[in-house]
Amino acid sequence: MSTRRFFTGILRLTIGAGLFYPTLGVTQTLTAERAAESPFAWTIDFDAAKASSLRTGKPVLLVIDAPQQRWDRYIERTVLPDSALAQVVRRFVWVLPDPARSQELGTRFHVAGLPTLLLLGPDEENVHRRTGYLTPKALSDFLREGLRRHELFARGLDWDLPEPRGDRLSAKYDFATLPAPSSEFPQGIAFIGDTLFVKQGPTVFKLDESTGEILGSFPLPGLVTDLASDGEFLYAVDYCWTSGQPIYVVDPEDGEVVRTIVTRANSTRKECAVSGVEILAGRLRVLELTGKIHEVEPESGNIEATLDVEGGLSGLAFDGEDLVSVSAKGIVFLDPASGHLRRMVSTNYQLRSIGFHAGHFFLMEQPLEGFDRNHDRIRISPKVTMLYVGAL
């Protein structure tokens, strides 16, 4: 497996929470002796945890994690100073299995990222689950929501109904819709002339901007997360540009990579965290999830300037005045000289990709995925993938 650190699934850095969870200086796994000493009644025995749950009525909370991270230590050091949260923690039967059993259980419950917390019913039903490191507040919210769901579960009521979804993207602005070419994850929108290019999954689709009709398609290499255009070529940025992977310059007719742009200064970094690219005044602008926009010279690949912006942004476009990106909260307009937030348009759905052409924004939603009661991955929303088109 690559040593690069990815920001999807196998994360050790949670951007939204701004929290880095380091190794705590111990590499041994949780032992039976150590579990017995814990104020939170940890166990390493999953079967014993289920038996304890049946006996006490407390739900099982299974932690799947890499052994060197020692999440039991993290929870104790984080939670003990907060007596209210400590009381909530004690309402669960916590189990942190040894590495071999963790691998087995991770496969059984379709765990794709570490750490994953799973609140289970007596027949291993998925009552609640979460992947990624949590701040104390986020951990508290997760546990309290888990108790609420478990109470519904114990009463035989639906415990996993999704949050109500608004009937429109924005309460303030109207958007037309076009059918998306695919149901796969959106990863970039760009224009050359009046031809709309949309990347979903590994494929770039050429579309009629008025009807959404598919005019052609081609695959792209790497882990491309966004597209830009200089009017002649497409520029496709790799998710791991931050660790030395290239920006691909692509012929829009057939998808041939005509050259690559490598930023050699990134070759010593390990994290993968790119979420957007745009071209402005002959320079590439590359967006990092960590909250930076780099100005990159397209011939040499050298970084010429860097702006600090808010973290967690995805996609990048230029509307003639502002750099525009999207977040969990809405559409953000940034001063291209300073990176300062000029305004934000709230949206009812989290967006992932953005493009701009002829006075209109083209937007695609971030798919929300989860797990059903049997731990199989499902698409929660949107049920039908669309392109939203409108002026702001």
Would you list the domain boundaries of the chain?
13-154, 176-390
Q: How far apart are CA 17 and CA 4, in angstroms?
A: 21
pLDDT score recorded for residue 289:
92
Q: How far apart are CA 217 and CA 199, in angstroms?
A: 9
pLDDT score recorded for residue 33:
60
β-pairing, 303-308 vs 314-318, is unpaired
pLDDT bracket for residue 136 (50, 70, 90): confident
Give the number of C-alpha atoms closer than 13 A to the C-alpha of residue 73, restricted to the C-beta side: 16
β-pairing, 19-20 vs 13-14, is antiparallel
Instruction: Tell me which of 248 and 162 has the higher pLDDT.
Output: 248
β-pairing, 60-64 vs 93-95, is parallel
Q: How far apart are CA 177 and CA 389, in angstroms?
A: 6
pLDDT at 8 over 50: no
Cross-strand bridge partners of residue 20: 13
pLDDT bracket for residue 74 (50, 70, 90): confident
Read off the pLDDT of residues 312-331 as tens digits, 9 standing for 90 and up.
999 999 999 999 999 989 99
Read off the pLDDT of residues 84-115 as tens digits, 9 standing for 90 and up.
788 888 899 999 999 999 999 999 999 988 88
Mean pLDDT of the chain: 88
Q: What are phi and psi of 310, to 5 degrees?
A: -70, 150
CATH 3.40.50.10140 matches 176-390: no
- For 341-376, b/e burial (b = at least 16 CB within 10 A) is eeeebebebbbbbbbbbeebbbbbbbbeeebeeebe
Query: Which amino acid makes up residue 272?
Result: C
pLDDT score recorded for residue 32:
62
CB 84 within 8 A of CB 102: no
List the single range of 62-76, 117-131, 343-357 with lowest mean pLDDT. 62-76
pLDDT bracket for residue 21 (50, 70, 90): very low
Q: What percent of the chain has pLDDT over 90?
A: 77
- Specify the fold of 13-154: Glutaredoxin (3.40.30)
CB 241 within 8 A of CB 286: yes
pLDDT score recorded for residue 6:
34
Packed helices 136-154 and 71-79: angle between N→C axes, nearest 10 degrees: 100
β-pairing, 247-250 vs 257-261, is antiparallel
pLDDT score recorded for residue 12:
30
Q: Which two tokens stand for residue 305?
A: 């300037």
pLDDT score recorded for residue 66:
80
Do the domains at 13-154 and 176-390 have one common CATH topology? no
pLDDT score recorded for residue 193:
95
3-state SS record for the chain? CCCCECCCCCCCEECCCCEECCCCCCCCCCCHHHHHHCCCCCECCHHHHHHHHHHHCCCEEEEECCHHHCHHHHHHHHHCCCHHHHHHHCCCEEECCCHHHHHHHHHHCCCCCCCEEEEECCCCCEEEEEECCCCHHHHHHHHHHHHHHHHHHHCCCCCCCCCCCCCCCCCCCCCEEEECCCCCCEEEEEEECCEEEEEECCEEEEEECCCCCEEEEEECCCCEEEEEECCCCEEEEECCHHHCCCEEEECCCCCCEEEEECCHHHCCCCECCEEEEEEECCEEEEEECCCEEEEECCCCCCEEEEEECCCCCEEEEECCCCEEEECCCEEEEECCCCCCEEEEEECCCCEEEEEEECCEEEEEECCEEEECCCCCEEEEECCCCEEEEECC
Cross-strand bridge partners of residue 93: 60
Q: Which two tokens stand for residue 317?
A: 């476009």
Read off the pLDDT of residues 259-312 as tens digits, 9 standing for 90 and up.
999 999 999 998 899 999 999 999 999 999 999 999 999 999 999 999 999 999
Q: Which two tokens stand for residue 107?
A: 């496969």
pLDDT at 26 over 70: no
pLDDT score recorded for residue 9:
29
Read off the pLDDT of residues 216-274 as tens digits, 9 standing for 90 and up.
999 999 999 999 999 999 999 999 999 999 999 999 999 999 999 999 999 999 889 99
pLDDT at 27 over 60: no
For the chain, the straight-line distance linking the first and the last C-alpha, in angstroms and rounded, comes to 44
Instruction: Tell me which of 29 and 308 has the higher pLDDT.
Output: 308
CA 64 to chain CA centroid, nearest Å = 19
